[in-house]
Amino acid sequence: MGNREILAVAAIAAICLAACSGKGPPGTGAGGQGGGAMGPGAALSSGPKVVRLARAARKTLRPYVDQGGDVEASVEVAVYPDIGGKVVDLGVALGDSVKKGQPIASVDPSKPGARYEISPVTSPISGTVTSVPVDPGATVTTSTAIVKVGVIDELKVVVELPERDSAAVKVGMSAEVGLAALPGEKLAAAVSRVSPVLDATSRTREVTLKFLAKDDRVAAGMYASARIYIAPLADRIVIPASAVISRNGETYVFAVEGSGGELAAKKRVVALGAEVDGEVEARSGLSSGDRVVVEGQDQLSDGKKVAESAGSAE
C-alpha cells in the first residue's frame, strides 16, 4: 500500500472515531448537527433588560438666553472735530476726567501752500475718557471720532441677541452678569431696553442691561457674559432630556408599566416644548408620575420586559 492510500485510510478512521465519540466540527452539537449542548458563540437566553428610570413630574421651567457683551458707560458721547486736518495735539488719555467745554485736542486744517488757524476740539459733556481711537499726527475728518467721553457713575451691559432669541426678551426681565475680572461671581441686572429694530446685516437685536447695584470693581470696557431669564413656564410635565429618542421622523420615549418583577417598556410618542439644563417639557404623551427609561434604551422595543436598575431616580 502506497503513502497516499495509507493517508486516506487514516483520515477515514479519524472521522469514524469522532462520530462514535459524539463530537462534531467546532460550533455544532453532538453528531455535528448543531443540536444538544451549546457551543462557543451560541446565543444565550434573553431575560429582562436592565434600565434606569426617572419619573415625569410637574415643575416650573425657567428658560434663559446666554450672550456675551460689553460693559459700557450709561452715557457715552463721541467727540468730533469741527474741521478736518491733522491732529497736532491730544491732551487727554484713556481714563482721564474731563469737564464740559474743556479742550481735549487740536486740529491743524492747513494744506500745502496755505496755513489756517489751529482748531480746538472740546468735550461736549463732563465725564471720563472711555476711548481714544486716534493718535497725534493722524489725519481726521469731521466724521472721525477723536475721543469718546462717558458718564461712568452708572454702567450698562450691551449684548446683541440673535433673531431667534430676541422676541422672547422684554424690558424688566431679570438677568445675571459674569465678568472675567470677578470669577465665580454673578451680578444682578435687569433688561432696561430692547431695540425696536433688527440689524438687517447681522440679524441681531441690541439689548441693554442695567446693574441693580453699583460695584466699583466693574469698569467700562470689560467683557460680560450675560444670562437673561425669560418668562417662566409653570406647571409643566418635565422629564430628563436623556429619555427622548428621535428616530425615523418620530420623537418618543419608553414608559415603563407594571409592578414588581413584571415590568414592560411601552413606546409613547411625545410632543416636546422648552428644554432647560437637561430637562425638557413633554406637552403630550405623558402624565405626572409616569416612569420613563433614561438609560438602557438601546435595542429596547415596545412591550419588551425590563428590570429596574438600583440607580433609578424616583
Residue 291, all three cell numbers? 416612569
Rounded distance between C-alpha atoms, residue 30 and residue 18, angstroms: 10
Q: What burial letters (b/e) apply to 56-93, b meaning 16+ CB within 10 Å?
A: beebebebbbebebebbbbebbbbebeeebebeebebe
pLDDT at residue 254, rounded to an integer: 96
Question: Can you list the residues of the chain whose pLDDT is less than 70?
Answer: 1-46, 311-314
Rounded distance between C-alpha atoms, residue 87 and residue 106, angstroms: 6
pLDDT at residue 114, rounded to an integer: 87
- Bridge-based pairing state of the strands 57-61 and 233-240: antiparallel
Collect all residues with Cβ–Cβ distance below 8 Å to 212 and sequence separation of at least 6.
Answer: 187, 188, 189, 190
Whole-angstrom Cα Rg for the chain: 38
The CA-atom distances, in angstroms, between 26 and each of 8, 21, 30, 35 are: 22, 14, 10, 12
Instruction: Say what the pTM is.
Output: 0.68
Q: pLDDT (tens digit, 9 = 90+) per residue, 107-133? A: 999 988 889 999 999 999 999 999 999
DSSP H or E stretch at residue 14: helix 3-21
Rounded distance between C-alpha atoms, residue 226 and residue 157, angstroms: 8
Rounded distance between C-alpha atoms, residue 261 and residue 249, angstroms: 33
Q: pLDDT (tens digit, 9 = 90+) per residue, 34-66? A: 444 444 444 444 688 999 999 999 999 999 999
